[in-house]
Structure 1
Amino acid sequence: MENLCGYAQDDLAVPLLTEAAIAGEPVDLRALNDHAAAWCAEVNAAVHSEICAVPDERLVEERTVLKALPSLRLEIGAGSVRRKVDSLSCIRYGSARYSVPQRLVGATVAAVVDHGALILLEPATGVIVAEHELVGPGEVSILDDHYDGPRPAPSRGPRPKTQAEKQFCALGPEAEQFLVGAAAIGNTRLKSEIDTLLGLGAAHGEQALVDALRRAVAFRRFRAADVRSILDAGTGTPQPRPAGDALVLDLPSAPTRSLDAYKIAGTSTDGTAS
Structure 2
Amino acid sequence: MTNDSAARAARLAAEPLRPAGPRPGFLTGTLQSIRDVLAHRELLGLLVRRELKARYKDSVLGFFWSLAKPFAMLLVYYVAIGKFLGAEQIPGRPGGVPQFAIFIFTGLTAWQLFSDIVVGCTGSVVANAGLIKKVYVPREVYPLSVVGAALFNFGIQLTILVGATVAVGQFPTGFRWLYFLLALAVLITFSTALGLFLAAVNVYLRDVQYLIEIMIMILLWASPIVYAWKFVDNALDGPLQSLYLANPMTQVVLGFQRAFWVAGDGEPFPANLGESLLISLGISVLLLWLSQRVFARLQSNFAQEL
| TM bin (shorter chain) | under 0.3
- Which structure: greater helix fraction? 2
Pick 1 or 2: higher relative contact order, CA cutoff 8 A, min separation 6: 2
TM-score calculated relative to the size of structure 1: 0.22
The structure richer in strand per residue is 1
Higher gyration radius (CA): 1
